[in-house]
Amino acid sequence: MMITMPRGDAPLPSDTKPRRSTRALALLGCALLLTLLAAVTMASRRQGPLRSLARAAEGGRIYLPAVRNDPTPTPPPTAEPPPPPPTLEPGRELRAVWVSRYDWTSYGVSPQPGDIQNVVRQAATAGFNAIFFQVRAAGDAYYTPGLEPWSPRLTGTLGPSLGVHPGWDPLAELIERAHAAGIQAHAWLNVYPTWQAPPEGMGSLVPPIDGVWPPQALNRLTDHQSGGYGLGYSWRVYDSEGHMPITWGQYIWASPACPQVRDHIAAVAADIATRYPIDGLHLDNVRYPGRRYSLDPFTQQACAADPACHWPPSDAWRADYQRRQVTELVARITRQTHAIRPNALVSAAVWPVYQSRPGWPSTSQGYHDYYQDSHRWVQEGAVDAIAPMVYGSGIFTDVDTWGLIVADYLANSGGNWVLPGVGVETNDGHCVSAESIGGQIATARVLGAPGHAVFSLKGLERCGYLAYLRAGLYAEPALPPAH
């Protein structure tokens, strides 16, 4: 399948030139009128989010912690003019970019508000109208706590400075800047990763307890102190040898079957939606970490209560049960988010392939290998949108293969949103060709997708594709469609 990429700089055919001066004057008058209307519309759109942000700030819902007041105030964003508004009347397409913690923070450096300003500037320059901004990596916060402590990356470490106030609020800064530029701000949460130990020699294997408030999620779930749940190791995922151990540099995953895990994650999501004027919540790592998990105590209890199950459970029983646990939390977060912010978009990044089809390349599957029933989520409205992460592996750089996978998601969406993921880099760090990126975005448009999401902003910068998007695929501006 060959897709022709649209070009924003294609010249008009010569026979479209007007032949009489009166016609030229009429066209000039229409153009001036449309330009004036577009400018008025853009000014109105810019003021709306800023007024909303100001009202929320006056009510104490952005910068004040939910658990306790922090003695260090959040400084107001520094003055900087927003990017100029587009000169053309935009169409409708969600153009989202993932911005992870690695895109703007680094070890040994305390990031500053200017780093967020640069993030928004780059997104606006490329032509994006939505940012998926990571606010929770593994039981930490890139916003004012809240129910989880400040991320140590905000103060230049990978663990020792957990809970230390950085002196500013990255999420608040991102929302302010993005809304001023006419860009949506979506809060991106890693759902089940609960702690990520630093590389060996860069901090403690476990999160510190003393002097950290709120408690880090691993400590809150494990211990009784400081109002914790006191579950020991039972909240973690288990394989046949026992609970998942803590390993240097790796995530510790919580079991979706644990009620306290579900309650805590739902509370974190509700806290963000309540205190910040976000345009959406974006869920990631909302699955089991692999096929051998989880034989945890909560799953064992569920098996004992079901006459059809005998321990150890059959693969079929466990697969169905585990997919249900994940789906129920996703639906719960969506319901509560809509109750707080009815217009917010709840989306989820999902495994690249739901179930393999005949003739497809051999690869892992979200439904069977990670107990992620993403087709059901979007069909039943458990989320507003899914974003299949069809990137990373070299097989997904082929436009035809990418198109087959995306078409399968769209055919099974129940008419709801599928925002296919477009990768800029492969897993081994190579830049995907501009032809492949352009072909995938053009294919998504031909297939009727309401938009797409690009991973990631840092990759676009490294590979030199920010200007490429603006000059071609994003030459004409677009507004996010209503959902």
For residue 204, the model assigns a pLDDT of 96
CA distance 62 to 274: 9
HSE of 322, CA atoms in CB hemisphere, 13 A = 31
Q: What are phi and psi of 28, to 5 degrees?
A: -65, -40
Instruction: State CA 276 to chain mean position distance.
Output: 16
Q: What number of other Cβ atoms are within 10 A of residue 431's Cβ?
A: 17
Task: At 447, list the tokens.
Answer: 């297939």
Predicted TM-score (pTM) of the model is 0.83
| Tokens (6 digits) for 89 | 């009347």
Please give the average pLDDT of every successive group of 10 residues along the chain, which has 483 residues.
35 32 39 40 38 36 38 45 46 97 97 98 98 98 98 97 98 98 98 98 95 96 91 98 98 98 98 98 98 98 96 96 98 98 98 95 96 98 98 96 98 96 97 98 98 98 97 96 92
Q: Map residue 328 onto helix, strand or coil.
A: helix
Q: How many CB atoms lie within 10 A of CB 411?
A: 11
Q: Dihedral angle at the C-alpha atoms of 384, 387, 388, 394, nearest 10 degrees?
A: 170
Query: Residue 301: CA atoms inside 13 Å, Cβ hemisphere, count?
Result: 8
How many other C-beta atoms are found inside a 10 Å radius of the C-beta of residue 354?
A: 22
Residue 159 to residue 145: CA distance in whole angstroms: 17
Task: Give the C-alpha separation, 131 to 278, whole Å.
Answer: 11
CA angle 175/482/130 to nearest 5° reads 30
DSSP for 83-119, written as a single string: PPPPSS--EE-EEEEEE-GGGT-BTTB---HHHHHHH
Closest CA to 5 of 450, 439, 389: 439
- Burial class of residue 48 in the structure, from the number of CB atoms within 10 Å of its CB (0-12 exposed, 13-18 middle, 19+ buried): exposed
Report the alpha-carbon distance of residue 88 to residue 252 in Å, rounded: 48
Q: Which two tokens stand for residue 432?
A: 């995907």
Separation CA 330–CA 460 (nearest Å): 30
Q: Report the C-alpha gap between 471 and 474 in whole angstroms.
A: 7
pLDDT at 89: 52
Q: List pLDDT tens digits, range 58-82.
A: 333 333 333 334 443 444 444 454 4
Q: Cβ–Cβ contacts within 10 Å for residue 280, how many? A: 25
Domain edges within the chain: 24-59, 94-479
Prior bond of 193 cis (ω within 30°): no
Which CATH code for domain 94-479? 3.20.20.80
Nearest C-alpha neighbor of 92 from the set 465, 379, 437, 445: 445
Helix (H) or strand (E) holding 348: strand 345-350
CA of 165: how far to CAs of 138, 151, 403, in Å? 17, 9, 45
CB 432, CB 421: distance < 8 Å: no
Cis peptide before 294 (omega within 30 of 0): yes
